[in-house]
Amino acid sequence: MPAVRAVLLDVGGIFHLPDHDHVIGAFARAEVTVDAAGLDRAHYAGTTRFTVDYTGELPWNEMWAAYLEAYIDECGVPDDRRADALEHLHQEFTTVALWTRVVPGSPEALRALDATGVAIGIVSNADGSVAERLREQEVLQVGPGLGVQVETVIDSGVVGVTKPDPRIFHLALDALGVQPDDAIYVGDMPAIDVVGARKAGIRPVLMDPYGLHDGIDCERVRSLHDLAALISR
């Protein structure tokens, strides 16, 4: 990997995943039993439906519906329960409390990334509370604290701009004082993260823990530990 001065990170799929209890509850209301062990993979299976092959505005509703379809496919929902499962899952995914499960190993991996000496910032499509949530979970914060100290947390709910709009990435670059060529952006949804980073002139890196994005035209890593190792080399 070419020299990197700054790493910008998404939150969903990097530090947070859907809470298992909330998801299992949604499926239970649809009279479906699922194995918690497969729920993290189901999220990343859903991200494969956020493809880069679109023009104009991001077709969010279409891609989100495809995400949920892939999610329940991965969970093995029987055909006669699909409609109910989709309805209850969609309702659950609209709640703020859903995206609170800390990705196992991500705080430790972030410390390894921080040890490489790169500047670190966060760019997330969120609801305005992501900085506080990550601080409370002792994952990261701006300034001193119990988590890793990062330079900035750019939350779309605060700044009023959402990915893949390049302006949200430029806000982070300005906060870090680096140029696009000096940075990489790590996210998990190609249509939002890869497209958005490229629009901003930043090299994208896709988080792909299960190797589900074969064929995509960008660098991939399975964890932040892998990213830290690449940067160190």
Q: Is the dihedral of CA 49, 231, 99, 210 positive or negative?
A: positive
How many angstroms separate the Cα of 201 from the Cα of each of 24, 81, 169, 173, 220? 40, 44, 9, 11, 18
Per residue in 178-200, pLDDT tens? Answer: 999 999 999 999 999 999 999 99
**CA–CA separation, 189 vs 219, rounded Å?**
13
Whether residue 170 contacts residue 195, with contact meaning beta carbons closer than 8 Å, is answered with: no
In this prediction the pTM is 0.96
Whether residue 33 contacts residue 83, with contact meaning beta carbons closer than 8 Å, is answered with: no
Please list, in sequence order, all residues whose beta carbon lies within 8 angstroms of the beta carbon of residue 156, skipping any fewer than 6 positions away.
Answer: 124, 125, 126, 162, 163, 168
Beta bridge partners of 23: none
**CA–CA separation, 77 vs 220, rounded Å?**
29
Q: What's the chain's average pLDDT?
A: 96
In 79-223 the beta strands, taken as DSSP E runs, fall at 99-102, 119-124, 140-142, 148-150, 152-155, 183-187, 203-207, 219-221
**CA–CA separation, 128 vs 99, rounded Å?**
13
| Predicted local confidence at residue 2, as pLDDT | 67
Per residue in 98-144, pLDDT tens? Answer: 999 999 999 999 999 999 999 999 999 999 999 999 999 999 999 99
Per residue in 19-55, pLDDT tens? Answer: 999 999 999 999 999 999 999 999 999 999 999 999 9
Per residue in 196-218, pLDDT tens? Answer: 999 999 999 999 999 999 989 99
Is the pLDDT score of 224 beyond 70? yes
| Predicted local confidence at residue 208, as pLDDT | 98
**CA–CA separation, 139 vs 131, rounded Å?**
10
**CA–CA separation, 6 vs 205, rounded Å?**
13
Q: pLDDT category, 72, cuts 50, 70, 90?
A: very high
**Using only C-alpha atoms, what is the Rg of the chain?**
17
| Predicted local confidence at residue 124, as pLDDT | 97
Classified as helix, coil or strand, 148 is strand
**CA–CA separation, 108 vs 175, rounded Å?**
24
Q: pLDDT category, 1, cuts 50, 70, 90?
A: low
Whether residue 98 contacts residue 104, with contact meaning beta carbons closer than 8 Å, is answered with: no
Whether residue 199 contacts residue 213, with contact meaning beta carbons closer than 8 Å, is answered with: no
Q: What are the φ/ψ torsions at residue 31 (nearest 5 degrees)?
A: 60, 40
